[in-house]
Structure 1
Amino acid sequence: MKNLRSEILKALLRVEKGSYSNLLLNSKLKLIEDKRDKNLFTEIYYGVIRNKLYLDYIINQFSKTSLLKMDSEVLMGLRIGVYQLFFLDKVPARAAIYESVEAVKIILPASQKGAISFTNGVLRNINRKRNSIKLPAKNKDPEKHLSIKYSYPMWLVKRFIKQYGFNKSEKILKAGNKRAEVIYRHNSLKMTKAQFIELLDAADLEYESTFLESFYKLKKVNNPAQTKVFKRGGAYIQGTSAGLASLLLDPSENMEVLDLAAAPGGKTSHLAALMNNTGQIKALDISQSRLDLVQENLLRLGVKNVSLKKADASKYQDNKKYDRILADLPCSGLGLIASKPEIKWDKNENIIEKMAKLQYKILNNNLNKLKSGGQLLYSTCTLAKEENQDLIKRILKENKAYKLIDLSSRLEKASSLNLETKDKYLEILPGEVDSEGFFYALIQKVESD
């Protein structure tokens, strides 16, 4: 690749316009042959997205032109340069500046020489005076300090502090800036644990155990979807907190299970494995293209007890009663910032309110599909009380035939985590647990049919 930074710059501009960072990165890495270039592309690409506010804070101190008036290509080129200067010790300052300026030069027309000179001048000035840069004082303006230091929008910092307090919030913010781990879930429908481990070892993959028995953290892997164990269906890429949801639902063989929001199929296929391909799982999704992705994953993983249905879970009706319902519902995603850092910049308070309304509609529409004694696991990958604790309290208040089950015993059975449930709920916080942020609540129907 002739100029790696120009490709990074173009990719980052696409993320700014709404592209999903993980999907776009995967498509870009396929075009890069050199392993070091793959790693550098990934590091700068995600580093700029994660640290955008901090990078802009620095640029703003050395630019006479406001960020809002800059060409988007110039601003992104400056971010790429500043990220390398402050976060990548192995890239010499001279090279970081030169390559970033070249990237802007490649993308901008030749007529805009002034913009190129401006980019060069700002980066050189920042490099000369880098030791003079100071963060907002923690004791004078703690919220702004956290916002700039960890590069989070102020509304999100205030929300976390209100909900969790300052110290716990700082842990969450810091954890959100870590590079997301790649986790393999062993798929027992395609191979034994011994065969799975044998393929990992044969590929010289470094791995370690997690708090879930069948989930393994990969230490070094460039393309986890291209390994032999993945292609043979022995592995599925799934975070540990996401994997815990199916274990907490605890399905048994031959049960009837309803999955209300199945795509991309990770939890659906996990349920199928836990049920040993027996019983029947009905998996819904509102999008046919997403159901096609579920189908593709189920075929690779050898799942045979799932029927797919294109349906809006907030309106879906059938005459069946189910032993288990998995309600892993669409949410604001505030627990997934480590793996999808653009969430910081794409979400707002309105999204939280919108998601809470949708979740309420879906739960209200499907609670009555439980058999007497049947259980529904509600889970989200967000840290917003409106979508989690507050929502479940409202649902239980309005539906007297259902009760909340304490998740303590299920958690102990499913994992090695030593966490206390609060008010019978379970919440996993990044920074306290090495995993994604998640919320779980188990609801049981108590009245007889």
Structure 2
Amino acid sequence: MTGVLRNAQRTGFPDPAAIADPVKRLSIESSTPVWLVEKLTAQLGEPKTRAILNVINVPAHASLRVNTTKITPAALLASLKPEFPDLKESPLTPIGLIAPSGHLAGTSAFVKGEYTMQDESSMLVAPSLDIQPGDVVLDACAAPGGKTTHIAQYLDPKQGGQVTALDLHANKVRLINKNAKRLGLTDRIHAQVLDARKVATTFPANSFDKILVDAPCSGLGLIRRKPEIKYTKTPEDPAHLQQIQLAILNSVAPTLKIGGRLTYSTCTMVKEENQDVVAQFLAAHPEFEQVSVPTLKPLHKAHNAPALQLFPDDYDTDGFFIASLIRRK
């Protein structure tokens, strides 16, 4: 390493601007694999790809979701302001607060369950389900429980409201239960170990009013927070994951009540795992209709309507995709 640095000191570093191939140049400038630059450029165009890659190496701001069963956003903001003077309401959701930095998980309010840490884009998922207090909800891929607990905030167990949260692994189910306990929501969350691809053989048909499939995905929308994703994923991953995503959707479909709403979401940016999955599911399930995604605030920078796609450069959040489907028959 010392020899490499000394050689660089003597000879200097190559100028990326001298690289003729625009894809290779952008790959070097952003420390992003060529295959991913090629894919994003093909799907989004060079200007949008450059805008995304320009922000992924900038640290993400801190964001939290208010537990509205314990405190209002205004009251929490007022209580945290002395310690975090730059804290403010999220432009994406009225129950989110954001700050440029700060250890927001280190407060007594966090320990008491007045809020939890969650990216703003993820906070858009639960409202997309249009949950009513007495709904019976399935969160098919639930760990670590951020979206499960958000769903639970809308439910009233006295009216029969409950969310069933599934995960493949027992340790992750324990994590869901731990988060539910801290937030005081255990009376409306039931977590269990189950492969989401077995939902149709585990639950009766027409069991749920609402279903969330926050599917396993390549996670390419998270590369600002988890830069290692750029180097651990391969060009073959999106196509492989698409098969798993479709298998989960096909399994949960018959357990949704007629008139019920299904949300499909991912934290990735490539169409193979997003628009293509939705299109294939709808082709196989004519009883479903895609509708616009409900949001608590207007999002003028969202893409791919009637679905909702956010890229990291749109609102300085993770990249995220949400589609809303209604079972009509």
Give the TM-score normalised by the residue count of structure 1: 0.69
3-state SS in 1 of match to 2:76: helix
* 1:81-120 alignment runs, 5 A limit: 119=2
Q: 1:363-392 CA distances to partner (integer Å, 9 max, x unpaired)?
A: 000111111110100000011211111111
- Spell out structure 1 runs of 4+ moving beyond 6 A: none
Question: Which residue identity does 1:273 align to in structure 2?
Answer: Q
Q: 1:313 to 1:174 in 2, by over 3 A?
A: same
Contact 1:286 1:310 in 2 (8 A): yes
Q: Which residue in 1 is equivalent to 2:245?
A: 359
Q: 1:420 to 1:224 in 2, by over 3 A?
A: closer
Choose 1 or 2 for highest CA Rg: 1
Q: Which residue in 2 is equivalent to 1:310?
A: 193
Q: Does 1:214 align with 2:214?
A: no
Distance 2:218 2:225 in 1: 14
Distance 2:264 2:314 in 1: 21
Displacement of 1:192 in angstroms is: 2.9
Q: Which residue in 1 is equivalent to 2:125?
A: 245
Please provide the CA RMSD for this pair. Answer: 1.7
Q: Which residue in 1 is equivalent to 2:24?
A: 144
3-state SS in 2 of match to 1:375: strand
Q: 1:124 to 1:305 in 2, by over 3 A?
A: same
Residue identity over aligned pairs, in percent, reads 35
3-state SS in 2 of match to 1:436: coil
Question: Which residue identity does 2:269 align to in structure 1?
Answer: L
* 1:11-410 alignment runs, 5 A limit: 78=1, 119=2, 121-130=3-12, 133-137=14-18, 140-210=20-90, 211-221=92-102, 223-276=103-156, 279-303=161-185, 304-316=187-199, 317-319=202-204, 321-407=207-293, 410=294
Displacement of 1:252 in angstroms is: 1.0
Distance 2:304 2:229 in 1: 27
State which drifts further: 275-284 or 291-300. Answer: 275-284
Displacement of 1:195 in angstroms is: 3.4
Distance 2:11 2:79 in 1: 51
Displacement of 1:187 in angstroms is: 0.7
Distance 1:141 1:434 in 2: 28
3-state SS in 2 of match to 1:371: strand
Question: Which residue identity does 2:43 align to in structure 1?
Answer: Q
Count of matched residue pairs? 322
Higher relative contact order by CA 8 Å / sep ≥ 6: 1 or 2?
2
Displacement of 1:135 in angstroms is: 0.8
Q: 1:204 to 1:402 in 2, by over 3 A?
A: closer
Distance 1:264 1:272 in 2: 14
Gaps of 5+ in 1: 1-77, 79-118
Q: 1:236 to 1:439 in 2, by over 3 A?
A: same
Distance 1:136 1:170 in 2: 14
Q: 1:418 to 1:276 in 2, by over 3 A?
A: farther
Distance 1:289 1:205 in 2: 37
Contact 1:205 1:220 in 2 (8 A): no
Higher helix share: 1
Give the TM-score normalised by the residue count of structure 2: 0.93
Contact 2:303 2:310 in 1 (8 A): no
Gaps of 5+ in 2: none
3-state SS in 1 of match to 2:221: coil
Q: 1:94-128 CA distances to partner (integer Å, 9 max, x unpaired)?
A: xxxxxxxxxxxxxxxxxxxxxxxxx1x43244345
Contact 2:266 2:320 in 1 (8 A): yes
Contact 1:143 1:154 in 2 (8 A): yes
